[in-house]
Amino acid sequence: MIVQAKKATSNPAIPVSSVHEDCSSKEREGAEMAKGYWVTVYRSVSKPEALAAYAKLAGPAITAGGGRFVVRGMPAKAYEAGLEQRCVVIEFDSVEKAMATYESAEYQAAKKLLEGAVERDVRMVEGA
As a whole number of angstroms, the distance between CA 73 and CA 16 comes to 45
Share of the chain above pLDDT 70, in %: 76
Q: Assign a CATH topology to domain 36-126.
A: Alpha-Beta Plaits (3.30.70)
Q: How sure is the predictor about 30, in pLDDT bands with cuts at 50, 70 and 90?
A: low
Q: What's at 98, amino acid-wise?
A: A
Q: Quote the mean pLDDT of the chain.
A: 83
Q: How sure is the predictor about 1, in pLDDT bands with cuts at 50, 70 and 90?
A: very low
Domain ranges of the chain: 1-32, 36-126
User: Whole-model pTM?
Assistant: 0.74
- Tell me the residue ranges of DSSP E strands in 33-97: 36-45, 68-73, 87-92
Average confidence (pLDDT) over 69-82: 94
Residue 75 has pLDDT above 60, yes or no: yes
DSSP tag of 84: S
55 contacts 122 by C-beta, under 8 angstroms:
no
